[in-house]
Each structure stands twice: as structure tokens, then as C-alpha cells.
Chain A
Amino acid sequence: MNRADDIHSLADEEVMRLVQEGNPRAFELLYDRHGGASFSLAYRMVGNRVTAEDVSQEAFLSIWRSKARYRPDRGSVRTWVLGIVHHRAIDALRRNLVHERRRSSAEGIEERHEAPERERTDVEAARREDARHVREAIAGLPEEQTRVIELAYFGGFSHSQIAEMLQMPIGTVKGRMRLGLEKLRKGLAEKVG
């Protein structure tokens, strides 16, 4: 196959192989496919565009420099990329690089743009549908479980910090996280089942 001609038709796993071989065009394609979701996650977590840029840049450069190796047996490329972004954003949050943290809320995010990934319409439609399923599953959780899960995942807070913020025992926070994730898992299964 002529990679230069067909690169856009490659599956993510093959694109990643080319990236790890040092192919800049494959890296650009990887960014085009997942850069939007990565920036969106970083922005959701750190709450400002400048730090979100830093987080996204660090994440993608670590991928390019092969500091983070993709392993197909651990999930999809998208999940892996977003996991790296999540790690970076937590690093940023915990190092207090963000002075005005957005505390796990989407409030104030006014910018809604077209889907940034340059993908075919059917892929975009499937992603939108998937996002709707996940939001519905999250909406199905009791408020107190959603709160601790979002504070942990999007806010980058440890369970002990959350317990202090919400003035509740650590055991309660841990229990709500565990119960909430279990309900979310079941909710997602019902949505796609």
C-alpha cells in the first residue's frame, strides 16, 4: 500500500504504528482525529484555554517522542490518548498551575463549535450518539454520586480532598465513587445493549 496516498483510510492502530516509526503525516492525522476530543477534555478539566493548550501539547509530544507507548490490548487509541491527556491535566491541576480551577462543572463553557475532528460524517454521527449515551448514563446517577465522580475525574481531586470539601467521611466518598461507577457501568450497558 502506498502509505502517502492511503494514510487517511488507515485504522487508528496502524496510524499509531506509523507515528511510533516517526512519520509526521501520521502524527498530523492522529491529531486531526483526536486533538479536538483531547483539547475538550483538557479544557473541561483545567477550565482555561491556555493551560488546556499546554496539557494537549505535552500529551501529543509525549506520544510523538514515544514516551508513552500504545498497546492495543489495553483499549482503543482514542481511550489511550484521552488517558494521557487526563494524566497531564491532573498533573497541571495538582501543581497549582491553574489558579482558577473549574470545579468539575461545565458552567461558563460558552464556546460550542462544530466537531473539530476531520472525520467522515458517519464517524462523527456515531461519536455524537455515543456522547449522548454517556451523558444520559451519567444523568441517571444520583446527584451525590455524580458529584464525587466528577470532582475526582474532571477536577483532579483526591478522595481525601473531596471529603474535606464536601465535609463528609472519606469512607462515604469512596463508597459513592464505587457505587456510582458500578451504576454508570450498568447504565452504559443498557444504553448500548
Chain B
Amino acid sequence: MSVERHELLQEDVGAYVLGALDDSELRRFEAHLEECPVCADEAERLRPAAQALPRSVTPVAPPAALKRSLLATVDAEARERAGLSPRRPRPLARVADRLRTAGSSLGNLRPGMALAGACVVLLAGVATGAAGLYAIDNATESKQPRAVSRTIVAKVDKTRVPLGSGSLALPADHENGAVLRVHGLRPLEVGSVYQVWVRRRGEIISQSLFTVGEDGDGAAAVTDDLKGADAVQVTREQAGGAKAPSENSILTVPL
């Protein structure tokens, strides 16, 4: 890593996390991240702060027509995939809803002109969609995950961790253990940790301890081979871990 390059680019990390770099700067900074663990760590540290911003937004109810339109499209496409004759959604239905309800200037036009206007709106949407997909695919597929044979979703005690969720990624070779990922767990006070257990034929075996970040996300290794195990469980324990669970598990992955 070039120190000069790091000093030149390190100030970009905030703009990067906020999506505020221009295209050429973005490419330059992403190339820098590949070779600079300091900036990569800082980006990962700041990302949850940026991801928290939408959670501050004042709730606004979406129009019912949006859900109707989405479900009509989705149902039609699902029927097509299943080889059934699709009940095609009326593509202009939502636009027509808008013309009636949104006070659009098109609403005052004759039907033929309004239809032409609606088509322009639809074409613009298609063009926008195609360009947008490229950015999302790039953003989500830039790093390939380790090959896993399957992922099992955890059952969560929603009375104690209402926003919690989690999943266990089992590698293709069971010998190397699995990784448990959690989201939406509350960071614990100092002196407490989350503890991972494996339950096998009535026996419960400690695996690892973990904490979660400010965003409630965390990950832990499951070191045992899980062949023949009944479940992976998580409890909250005192720092250093417990010899046996002190509470019913807040999160359970059935195997």
C-alpha cells in the first residue's frame, strides 16, 4: 500500500459510504480499498452509521395502488414461470390511478393523449430500471461468498429480541464448521456476551462467544462438526461464557 496514496484518499471514506463519490472517484477509491486495510476497516466501521439514516425517516403510507400493481405483475410472472397462462396485469392501471388521483396535468387531456403520455412514463421507467440494475448487481456481487451447501434460518424468540433474525451457513464440507450470522440483536452491556451452543442428543456443548455491532449484526463460528447435531442455539451469558446455558435460547437453528 502506498502511504502517499492512502493520505490522498483516506478522506474519501465518508463520501464513499454515503454514496457521494463521483463515478471516477468511486472506481479509484474502490481500487484503493482492495489494497488498504486501514480504509477498508474504516469503511466497514462507518457503514452502519450510513445504513441507520433511513431508519430516521418519518413514516409515510404508500398508496394502495402500488401494492396492487406490484402483486398483479408478480402474480402474472409467477404464472408464466409455472407454465400457466398468465393473467396479465393491466400495465396502465397504476398510471390511470395516478391520472385520477395525483392531480397530474395529463388528467385533463383527452383519453388518447393521456394514453400517449402514460406510455412515455412507462418507457422512462423501463430505461431507468435497466440502468439501475447494473449498479445494484455490481454493488451486491462484488465479493463472492464462501461456497455453502445450504443456509438454515434461525427461529427467534420475538418476545425477547423482537427485531432479531439469524441464519446458519453450512459449508459444503461439514468438517470446517459453520458460521452463524445474526441481525437485529441488541448490543449487550459490558460484562455480557452472546454464547453459541450445539445441542446433540440431550447434551449441550459450548462453541464460541460473540458480541454484536452497533447495528445489531454479528457472526460466530460453530467449531463442532454438525453431523448428528439437533440444533445450534444462542444465549446471553456473563463475559467469559458459561459452562451451561443460564437461560432458554433466544435464537435456535434447528438441524
Contacts and interface: CB of A to CB of B under 8 A. Distances in A.
Contacts of B81: 22
A41 B102 contact: no
A158 B20 contact: yes
Contacts, number: 277
Contacts of B14: 174-181
Given A72-B169, A83-B51, A44 B57 contact: yes
A56 B132 CA distance: 12
Interface stretch (B109-117, B137-145, B226-234, B238-246): B137-145
Contacts of B137: 67-68
B153 A113 contact: no
B61 A76 contact: no
Contacts of A137: 52
A178 B62 contact: no
B132 A88 contact: yes
Nearest to A76: B183
Interface string A138-173: 100000000001101110111110100000000101
A178 B57 contact: no
Interface string B147-190: 00001011110110011011101000000000101011011010
B224 interface: no
Nearest to B55: A134
Contacts of A192: 186-187, 214, 216
A109 B153 CA distance: 38
A185 B49 contact: yes
B69 interface: yes
Given A50-B98, A149-B18, A181-B18, A91 B125 contact: no
Interface in B1-53: 11-15, 17-22, 45-46, 48-53
B204 interface: no
Interface residues of B, number: 84
B70 A57 contact: yes
B162 A123 contact: yes
B206 to A, nearest CB: 23
Interface of A: prevailing SS: helix
B85 interface: no
A50 B125 CA distance: 12
Contacts of A135: 56
Contacts of B96: none
Interface in A15-32: 17, 22-24, 27-28, 31
Given A68-B137, A112-B58, A149-B18, A58 B163 contact: no
25 contacts: A27-B74, A28-B71, A36-B59, A40-B57, A49-B102, A50-B104, A62-B136, A68-B136, A72-B183, A73-B145, A76-B216, A79-B51, A83-B51, A87-B19, A91-B135, A111-B61, A113-B60, A116-B60, A131-B56, A134-B53, A149-B18, A153-B20, A173-B15, A175-B14, A181-B17
3 A-B pairs with least C-beta separation: A177-B14, A178-B14, A39-B62
